Amino acid sequence: MPYFSQKDFSEYLANAWVMCESPNNDPNFTQKQMLGLFKKADPQVLMDEDEYKQFQALEDTLVVYRGVTSYNANRVKALSWTLDREKAEWFAHRFDEDGAVYEAKIDKAHVYAFFSSRNESEVIVDPAFLNELAEVQTEDEGLSMTM
């Protein structure tokens, strides 16, 4: 980072985050270090123009979702969440996994980015400030047919 301008740093961080599969599991950075990078980035450069407008328009308190599988079930309190419950369900069940979806509330003050480039409505949050965190029932649970 000391060799980059803030603009370059912010662009590289955004590209590295959205191009990487499972950046929450990067063994080279602790969660605290990764969050520190987002806090140092310039939000107007980190996000594209449309993402930044959507970020600014977010409510003061957000409901966020996270889908986990056996691969990342120990990382529920991660940086990466989505505003889209259906996308969280997709993450929970991709690779034919029987994963889980979690829901939480967080104040916008603890949200550092919004990314829509992969149609994930992803928000980067400080997980220490997640409130009312709970596993939620997915759409296909609780439905049974009797004959």
Helix axes 6-19, 31-40, angle to 10 degrees: 130
pLDDT in tens, 89-120: 999 998 888 899 999 999 999 999 999 988 99
pLDDT at residue number 71 = 74
pLDDT in tens, 6-51: 999 999 999 999 998 888 778 888 999 999 999 999 999 999 999 9
pLDDT at residue number 21 = 81
CA 50 – CA 48 distance, rounded (Å)? 6
Residue 81 has φ and ψ, to the nearest 5°, of -130, 175
Task: Identify the weakest region by mean pLDDT among 36-50, 66-80, 131-145.
Answer: 131-145
Question: What separation in angstroms does the CA of 37 have from each of 23, 32, 109, 110, 125?
Answer: 13, 9, 16, 14, 12
Mapping DSSP onto H, E and C, the string for 94-125 reads: HHHCCCEEEEEEEEHHHEEEEECCCCCCEEEE
